[in-house]
């Protein structure tokens, strides 16, 4: 299962981990079912991109899965700002 994190919607960006948890539960999945995380690196808003990158890097590191095809334990994903 691939997880795509979109923090552009202001409602979702307020509680991103809760949103991820609800999405997984709705599908009958857990975080351990995620095999890869994909995020939009930008351009975009400074705060939204940082939130998305921080969560993706943390989940990728904790679950030992790639983020945007990269091993984040070696090099974390960094956002590209406007």
At a CB cut-off of 8 Å and minimum separation 6, what does 46 contact? 81, 82
Residue 9 lies in a domain: yes
Q: Strands of 1-82 (E only): list them.
A: 2-5, 36-39
Residue 76 located in a structural domain: no
CA 8 to chain CA mean position, Å: 12
Encode pLDDT of 14-35 as tens digits. 788 888 898 899 999 999 999 9
Split into its structural domains, the chain has a count of: 1
Per-residue pLDDT reduced to its tens digit, 44-78: 778 888 888 999 999 999 999 999 888 988 888 88
Q: Would you say residue 35 lies in a domain?
A: yes
């Amino acid at each position: 299962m691939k997880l795509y994190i979109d923090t552009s919607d202001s409602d979702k960006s307020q509680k991103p981990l809760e949103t991820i948890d609800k999405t997984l539960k709705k599908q009958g999945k857990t975080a351990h079912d995620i095999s890869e995380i994909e995020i939009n690196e930008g351009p975009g808003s400074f705060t939204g991109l940082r939130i998305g990158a921080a969560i993706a890097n943390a989940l990728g590191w904790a679950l030992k899965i790639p983020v945007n095809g990269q091993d984040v334990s070696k090099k974390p994903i960094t956002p590209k700002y406007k």
